[in-house]
């Protein structure tokens, strides 16, 4: 596959970066079903975007595929993983071990996707010292900065109540974390150079009720279904 890399310093829209994991997921699905080559049109149909969008997004990172032959699926998966830096394992710190935190800690999809919950923190006395299903001992949140720094953890997950989120975020930042997945229903204040992704189910559901009518509508026949695609920014 012909590929000419582009410098990381090039201005690439964040929305493009957000779409790359969707492409990787679609490509892995095709590979698992025995597909070794795919055209941009076929990939577009599989994930619900346009072929032009795929070609435009990939063009930010170089030249992929060959005219008339499409993309080599294993090679493109490898290239996207390299672009996203998920061709290696990333240790993650989890702040919060309540019901949500326990579900996150026990989720089996992280390690196959290059992530590992390597440290867990909470402030509740009855949770300190407990061991997750994967063997990680819960520490007091006062140990966040020191532990994160010692383990060289760059990514954190905030799964605490809103009134605790900023404090644990500052502890994560003090330890060297520069990317945060935030489940708390609050906007975090972070310095420039720190990336935050928000996951707020209530806000997301509220953004969909706009499209719901008061009166029920007839069910859509399965034959009329199309891929309902939104990227990580909801576009």
pTM of the model as a whole: 0.85
Where does a domain end: 83, 105, 122?
Answer: 83
The reply to whether 57 and 145 lie within a common domain is: no
Contact 211, 234 (CB under 8 A): no
Confidence at 69, pLDDT banded by 50, 70, 90: confident
Tell me what pLDDT residue 11 has. 81
Residue 7: pLDDT over 60:
no
Is 189 domain-assigned? yes
Residue 5: pLDDT over 60:
no
Confidence at 225, pLDDT banded by 50, 70, 90: low
The reply to whether 96 and 177 lie within a common domain is: yes
* Lookup: tokens for 216: 């029920």
Tell me what pLDDT residue 215 has. 65
Is 63 domain-assigned? yes
Residue 224: pLDDT over 70:
no
Residue 169: pLDDT over 90:
yes
Q: CATH code at 35?
A: 1.10.10.10
| Contacts of residue 200, Cβ cutoff 8 Å, sequence gap at least 6 | 183, 185
Within 13 Å and on the Cβ side, how many CA atoms surround 171? Answer: 24
Is 9 domain-assigned? no
pLDDT tens per residue, range 53-62: 999 999 999 8
Is 1 domain-assigned? no
The reply to whether 69 and 115 lie within a common domain is: no
Domain boundaries, position 35: 14-83
The reply to whether 78 and 96 lie within a common domain is: no
Structurally, the chain folds into a number of domains equal to 2
Q: List 93's β-bridge partners, or say none.
A: 119, 156
Nearest to 17 by CA among 65, 77, 83, 79: 83
The reply to whether 76 and 99 lie within a common domain is: no
The reply to whether 112 and 42 lie within a common domain is: no
Q: At what angle do helices 73-83 and 14-32 cross, to 10 degrees?
A: 150
Within 13 Å and on the Cβ side, how many CA atoms surround 101? Answer: 26
| Separation between Cα atoms, residue 82 and residue 227, nearest integer Å | 27
pLDDT tens per residue, range 142-164: 999 999 999 999 999 999 999 99
Q: CATH code at 110?
A: 3.40.50.720
Residue 213: pLDDT over 70:
yes
**Share of residues in the chain with pLDDT > 90 (%):** 79
Tell me what pLDDT residue 217 has. 66
Segment holding 174, helix H or strand E: helix 162-174
The reply to whether 70 and 94 lie within a common domain is: no
């Amino acid at each position: 596959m012909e590929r000419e890399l582009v410098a990381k310093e090039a201005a690439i829209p964040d929305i493009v970066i957000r779409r790359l994991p969707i492409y990787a997921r679609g490509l892995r699905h095709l590979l698992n079903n025995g597909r070794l080559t795919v055209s941009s049109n076929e990939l577009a149909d599989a994930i619900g975007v346009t072929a032009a969008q795929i070609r435009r997004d990939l063009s930010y990172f170089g030249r992929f595929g060959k005219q008339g032959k499409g993309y080599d699926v294993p090679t493109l998966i490898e290239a996207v993983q390299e672009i996203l830096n998920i061709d290696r394992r990333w240790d993650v710190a989890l702040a919060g071990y309540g019901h949500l935190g326990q579900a996150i800690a026990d989720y089996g999809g992280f390690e196959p996707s290059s992530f590992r919950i390597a440290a867990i923190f909470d402030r509740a006395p009855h949770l300190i010292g407990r061991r997750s299903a994967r063997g990680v001992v819960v520490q007091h949140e006062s140990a966040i900065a020191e532990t994160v720094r010692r383990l060289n953890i760059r990514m954190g997950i905030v799964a605490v109540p809103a009134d605790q989120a900023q404090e644990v975020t500052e502890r994560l930042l003090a330890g060297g974390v520069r990317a945060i997945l935030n489940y708390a229903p609050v906007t975090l204040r972070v310095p420039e150079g720190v990336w935050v992704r928000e996951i707020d189910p209530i806000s997301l559901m509220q953004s969909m009720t706009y499209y719901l009518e008061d009166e029920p509508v007839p069910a859509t026949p399965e034959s009329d279904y199309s891929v309902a695609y939104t990227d990580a920014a909801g576009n």
